[in-house]
Structure 1
Amino acid sequence: MKITEFMKSKKGASGIGTLIVFIAMVLVAAVAASVLINTSGYLQQKASTTGKESTDQVASGLQVLQVTGKANAVGTDIDYVTVLVTPNAGSGAIDLSQVTLMITDGATKVVKKYTVTTGADNDYYDKDAGSLFNTAIGTSAWNITGTMLPATGFGIKVIQDEDLSCLEDTPVINKGDLVAITMVKGALVLDERTPVSGEIQPEFGAPGIMAFTTPSTYDANGIMELQ
């Protein structure tokens, strides 16, 4: 049989049935395309959000610049510890009211948070110039002659804050800011040659790490650099 005769003997499907099948196929393809587009859009937004959160988590954090201690009146233990901190390079803003300070002497571990008091002034916040351990500047976080600092909290002294972001009720630090966090030793025993470790964990990002061994001798009321 010749090819032309073969082709003439073939008939194509036509009619309303074929039209219905064609429309159904188009509708199925349209629904599938819509689902794929919506899903890809959602995944793109989710990936973007996750990527930003991951970047903030990795880039943000606190850096411990120095740890200083103040000995007690008889020179046998450290009563107060001050940690000088600043945000990491590239870090986002960090709210110090959401920071957790954890420190251990090997036998006891204490957890401290920023303490806010009610009233016109917060006794545990200070931005006046002067010594971190000045006992003559009145009721502030640095009046350590009495029981101003609680055993479960820490005070904040602002050292550098160009944009005035670190306020009493909202102590937020960002690029270039420098603050001192002071705590009372509480249940810790910080006598001579004691290995001490701890961290200052922000709400998100990397913690600032503390690790030092206390000196072999203390001077009464002496100030010493620990890290």
Structure 2
Amino acid sequence: MKLLAFLKGKKGAMGIGTLIVFIAMVLVAAVAAAVLINTSGFLQQKAMATGKESTEQVASGLQTLRVIGIHNNTSINYLGIYITPNAGSAPIDLNQTKILISDGSRKAVLQYKSTAFTDLSTGGKVSNISKDAWNLSGGEFGIIVVQDADNSCTSNTPVINKGDIVVLTINATANQFNLPPRTTVTGSVVPEFGAPAVIQFTTPATYLGDQSVVTLQ
């Protein structure tokens, strides 16, 4: 009974002070909610952008179809690397692509030369070294278009996409590579983003005079 009487005798706090405290609590809660909403929105957009970039990085890239060599009976003078984009890859700009290659004693980094370009999408002989694509100095590679349905790969904008096949040409002699028989060559074609195309082969045990073009990989 005394406890009940005690509780009945208590009155709730009233007045302007209580109102100020209440308003302050509401304002703090509103500010906190706004900060949380803005932060969550920013994180969501950041996560979406990162996910898109990660997907592009994983799915995109190049693959090596084959590698050919043109020799003079004693050493390989020219290399041709057939490449195509990976399945599901985003378009790849070969102007931003580098070739890293080594013969075991010398390494080179090659970049695209815009005048070393030949379009053979309508037919022609890739191994014809009189073509512009083979006119190279050290540190350069050229492009021969083999398949390009949408004409996306041009001399000034060499972009390849789904279904395109091009040959990256290298003047081995100009890069001071020594490629006699039984020489191991390694390297990669590194695009701006995505997986690189692997180069790895060993030159034949001998070069036949009646077969100037050999398949290396």
Instruction: State if a TM-score over 0.5 links the two structures.
Output: yes
State the identity %.
56
Once the two structures are superposed, what CA deviation does each residue of 1:140-197 show, in whole Å capped at 9, x if it has no partner? 114xxxxx21111111011111111111101000011111111111121111101111
Once the two structures are superposed, what CA deviation does each residue of 1:38-81 show, in whole Å capped at 9, x if it has no partner? 11111111111111111111110000000000002xx1110100
Task: Please say if 1:32 is aligned against 2:32.
Answer: yes
- Counterparts of 1:55 and 1:28 in 2: how far apart (Å)? 40
Matches within 5 A, 1:32-181: 32-72=32-72, 75-116=73-114, 122=115, 124-128=116-120, 129-135=123-129, 140-142=132-134, 148-181=135-168
Shift of 1:134: 1.4
- What letter is aligned with 2:75? D
- Counterparts of 2:31 and 2:40 in 1: how far apart (Å)? 14
- Counterparts of 1:135 and 1:161 in 2: how far apart (Å)? 21
- Counterparts of 1:61 and 1:199 in 2: how far apart (Å)? 12
Q: TM-score, normalised by structure 1?
A: 0.90
- Counterparts of 2:96 and 2:24 in 1: how far apart (Å)? 58
Contact 1:97-1:171 within 8 A present in 2 as well: yes
Shift of 1:4: 4.1
Look up the SS of the partner of 1:115 in the other structure: strand
- Counterparts of 1:174 and 1:10 in 2: how far apart (Å)? 80
Specify every segment of 5 or more residues in structure 1 that has no aligned partner in the other structure, as ranges: 117-121, 143-147
Q: Which residue of 2 aligns with 1:205?
A: 194
Specify every segment of 5 or more residues in structure 2 that has no aligned partner in the other structure, as ranges: none
Contact 1:105-1:189 within 8 A present in 2 as well: yes
Contact 1:162-1:177 within 8 A present in 2 as well: yes
Look up the SS of the partner of 1:17 in the other structure: helix
What is the CA RMSD across the aligned residues, in angstroms?
1.3
Q: Which residue of 1 aligns with 2:214?
A: 224
Shift of 1:219: 2.9
User: Paired residues, what number?
Assistant: 212
Q: Which residue of 2 aligns with 1:5?
A: 5
- Counterparts of 1:135 and 1:49 in 2: how far apart (Å)? 45
Shift of 1:7: 2.6
Q: TM-score, normalised by structure 2?
A: 0.94
Contact 1:62-1:85 within 8 A present in 2 as well: yes
